[in-house]
């Protein structure tokens, strides 16, 4: 018996796993490569890893905004495919590429011109060596924005047509290329932080080209044509932006809140910055399986809603959330067990390593209790077109709990970097409660992106 009685499930049998497993592996391998990347950079010196951590907070803010727009594209395309309208799905895919290409070029130009002012505005006064390394790293990685934005848009289009293997292949190859480039430029040519930045830029270009090549293949259900169809359509772009802007605002504000938190951490000294940077990497690793499953859930729910199968969409939100909870719990235990090993490989000072291990111990206890409900169901709500609600909840909880509480605890009560995690735990609890109530209310089922 299927989730909808005698009706065949849209993602029954192996189809669900063929979509989710590559996405989970993609997130895991990308996070692992990111950790290896950070370990390699840390051997340049504590100033280097601190600079990369600070600049990557800005980079992630920009990238997450474009990821949000890509989510809008995947929702629109998935709902059209669920409705059987391949022509409109292809048209929407072409238009999102035009949109992100234009917007990312504008952002790149602005950051390239004003990078020193941006760093000063966001982080204020930091150690001189950290500041110089950050300026070098930011100067190179700014030019990766258009390629990263197009990669995320292309990957979202592939996911919408249930192809998650291609984006996984591109991401894994890109990250392996980044690690190899770091080894050559940092250790072989002794280029330091500049070598790490050049390697990152080259790997992002490679990933973008690879995904675009797959999207132009005649074998794709949604095919991108590089001539003839790449003309702006105001109506389609408006539909994409209406769907994507709430997700972009949510992602952007989430990263902006992290920037605000990072700004607080940057005042705690180089030891605290290094400990927090490594803890962030390990904590992210423990959640990658859930994030990958969430990406797939957006496509699943989008197709179900497009096909008018709301009960099946509800079934998959519950199923994928449960699977994610199991994966996150197991990942937290593994990461805590390997924490000391990673700090030694990174060559972290003893004080910073001890601080990192202590924070990971608390995270291992708290994260399985609250994290999954605070993130995974929201992917399903966005797939249904309920992005405005997830945006309001995420932004409100971020600023009231994560940012506000962190500032209070770190600046006025002297909690140090542990204050950051207390604010984050509170944010998870509030978000999870509100998303759970929204799901149970059933109001998200009434949302629909396409006519």
Domain ranges, ordered by start, for the chain: 14-446
Q: Is 278 exposed, middle or buried (0-12, 13-18, 19+ CB in 10 A)?
A: buried
Which residue's entry shows tokens 């772009």? 237
| Cα distance between residue 367 and residue 349, in whole Å | 26
Could you tell me how far CA 332 lies from the centroid of its own chain? 19
Cβ contact 307:300 at 8 Å: no
Least confident of 136-140, 343-347, 365-369: 343-347
Q: Which pLDDT band holds residue 220 (cuts at 50, 70, 90)? A: confident
Signed CA dihedral, 359, 365, 368, 370: sign only: negative
What pTM was estimated for this model as a whole? 0.86
- According to the model, what pLDDT value does residue 1 have? 39
**Count of CA atoms in the C-beta half-sphere (13 A) of 180:** 8
Residue 252 reports pLDDT greater than 90: no
Q: Please report, rounded to a whole number, the percentage of residues in the chain having pLDDT higher than 90.
A: 53
- Give the pLDDT confidence of 143-161 residue by residue, as tens digits: 999 999 999 999 999 999 9
**Count of CA atoms in the C-beta half-sphere (13 A) of 25:** 15
- According to the model, what pLDDT value does residue 6 have? 55
Q: Facing residues of 4 across strands?
A: 7
Cβ contact 42:183 at 8 Å: no
- According to the model, what pLDDT value does residue 5 have? 53
Closest CA to 244 of 100, 82, 102: 100
Mean pLDDT of the chain: 88
């Amino acid at each position: 018996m299927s989730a909808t009685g005698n009706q065949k499930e849209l993602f029954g049998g192996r189809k669900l796993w063929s979509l989710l497993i590559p996405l989970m592996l993609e997130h895991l391998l990308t996070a692992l490569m990111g950790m290896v990347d950070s370990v390699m950079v840390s051997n340049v010196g504590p100033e280097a890893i601190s600079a990369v951590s600070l600049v990557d907070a800005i980079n992630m803010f920009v990238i997450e905004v474009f990821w949000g727009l890509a989510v809008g594209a995947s929702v629109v395309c998935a709902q059209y495919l669920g409705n059987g309208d391949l022509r409109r799905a292809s048209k929407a895919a072409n238009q999102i590429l035009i949109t992100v290409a234009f917007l990312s070029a504008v952002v790149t130009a602005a950051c390239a011109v004003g990078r020193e002012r941006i760093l000063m505005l966001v982080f204020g006064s930091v150690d001189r060596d950290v500041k110089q390394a950050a300026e070098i790293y930011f100067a190179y990685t700014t030019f990766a924005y258009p390629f990263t934005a197009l990669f995320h848009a292309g990957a979202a289009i592939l996911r919408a047509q249930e192809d998650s293997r291609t984006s996984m292949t591109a991401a894994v190859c890109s990250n392996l290329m980044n690690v190899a480039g770091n080894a050559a430029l940092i250790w072989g040519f002794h280029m330091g932080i500049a070598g790490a930045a050049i390697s990152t830029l080259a790997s992002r270009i490679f990933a973008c080209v690879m995904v675009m090549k797959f999207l132009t293949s005649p074998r794709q259900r949604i095919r991108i044509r590089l001539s003839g169809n790449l003309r702006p359509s105001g109506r389609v772009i408006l539909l994409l932006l209406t769907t994507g802007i709430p997700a972009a605002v949510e992602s952007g504000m989430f990263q902006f809140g992290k920037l605000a938190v990072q700004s607080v951490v940057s005042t705690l000294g180089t030891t605290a910055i290094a400990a927090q940077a490594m803890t962030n990497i390990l904590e992210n690793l423990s959640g990658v399986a859930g994030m990958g499953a969430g990406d797939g859930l957006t496509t699943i729910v989008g197709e179900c809603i497009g096909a008018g199968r709301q009960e099946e969409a509800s079934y998959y939100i519950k199923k994928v959330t449960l699977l994610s909870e199991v994966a996150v719990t197991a990942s937290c235990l593994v990461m805590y067990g390997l924490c000391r090993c990673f700090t030694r490989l990174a060559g972290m000072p003893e004080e910073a390593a001890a601080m990192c291990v202590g924070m990971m111990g608390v995270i291992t206890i708290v994260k399985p209790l609250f994290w999954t409900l605070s993130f995974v169901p929201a992917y399903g709500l966005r797939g249904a077109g309920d992005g405005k609600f997830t945006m309001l909840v995420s932004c409100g909880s971020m600023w009231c709990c994560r940012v506000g509480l962190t500032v209070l605890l770190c600046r006025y009560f002297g909690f140090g970097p542990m204050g950051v995690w207390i604010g984050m735990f509170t944010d998870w609890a509030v978000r999870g409660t509100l998303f759970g109530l929204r799901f149970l209310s059933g109001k998200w089922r009434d949302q629909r992106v396409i006519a």
